[in-house]
Structure 1
Amino acid sequence: MRSGINFLWCPRAAPLVQDILELSPNSPELLEESTVSIAATHDFTAHVLPYLVLAAGTHYPQIQLNLMAGNRTAVMNMVETGAADFGIVPKVEIPRAFAFDRLFMSDVSLVTPLGHPLSEAEDLTRAKIAEWPLITWRTGSPASGETYDRYRRERMRFKSVLTLDSLTSVKTYVALGLGVAMGPNFAIDPWDESRLNVVSLSGVVPGREIGIVTLRDKPLWKSGKLVTDMIHAEVTSSTFLTHFPYGL
């Protein structure tokens, strides 16, 4: 008598077996429950990340996301210490220990109180903007490099009346008439039009690449790679872009 297990082929099982064989290694059906920690800047977390989290829940419900927010410096530190699997930041002097994977180019807009003269100005320049009280970004915030730090480097005089960490906070103070500000387009919401004027600074202030940062010597686990691949696909989809009336 032969020992072991004998398998009896059942024709009714053929469709099920075929479905199993056709499953991709990345299929949600084969993905174990896991956690991916993401660190991002305050404005990205408030305005862009919610739509990416929604998409992740649809594609990979088994993956739990742990979200953390901070300024650019804090995000880089979270990735370096392992508190975050990857970060999402503007491309500014990325240290060699990190790998930067570009997601999109973020353009900059000027936000002013309703009826402000700058919102009607022709041939708007950085010099004209500097003539007005500015609400500026703290060093390490996403927009500091492409806007206010440039004034400092070129020794162009300007008056900063307030310094904050994010455009989300800045917009409230601008609406109260305390100054004007510049920031990434993705942080401007459709309902801001009821309290602010928004002026594109394309061609006036350079945009900045936004991307994913990881440690070069620490490859992402399978679940992290699935999430980053999904983010790449989402930020280029037409459906995703409808959430951002002023663009990314």
Structure 2
Amino acid sequence: MTSEPGLRAALELVARSPALLVASDFDGVLAPLVDDPMTSRALPGTLDDLCALAALPSTYAALVSGRDLATLAQLTGQGADSPLTLIGGHGAQSTRADIGITLSETEQASLDAVTVALHAALGGVPGARLELKPTATVLHTRTATPPDAAEAGRRAAEVLAEHPELTVLRGKDVVEVTPLVVDKGSALAALARALDVDAVVYFGDDVTDENVFIRLTPADLGIKVGLGATHAAQRVAGPPDVAAALTALRLARQLRDAGA
């Protein structure tokens, strides 16, 4: 695990970029993971620091999540007047008009069909539940026992094998199915291009965040939260460390703008 001095130096270096985008996943990064996803809340100060960064000259901030856009806005309290760009559904939705995708009639029909099939296949598996998003259906097994989670995964795999036209995204205790070819990395890259930034800082904890980390350049900074293999250059243990890193980045950026 990267030492704190190493991370501090990396944050101070990227803070000197002329135009900077700071982005973060939500669950497991700003907010500790919980069994009931609707009770998830960001740690105090994290959203404040992101908003403060977004208020600085040539600095932008974003939340990038697998959550649907409406739920992400609800849980974070970031409404239409927020300085943050919200990207939901792994890039399928965004508060920016130039980022985001909608389903065609054919894609919607395919998603509806697999959702009905998954409901039927997963009936009776304790702890397994489906979440319906505007552009995806998600199997959650966080509250299932390991044997039940394995059984739910086996049944879901049988259903998904009949729908090769769909994209399957696997994360921590989740399997997300969508007719779209989307990922967080593509969405964040599109946002960075639209903003014309010189560097990106990204915090992520899940397998789906690797799609961001693998796209980052030497000018950027990827920070993996928690254990597991990663393409990120830096690593922290959990959300409290993310909170500290965001504060350090905000202070470094403010010092840079003050000419210190």
TM-score, length-scaled by structure 2: 0.30
**Structure with the higher strand share, 1 or 2:** 1
TM-score, length-scaled by structure 1: 0.31
**Structure with the higher helix share, 1 or 2:** 2
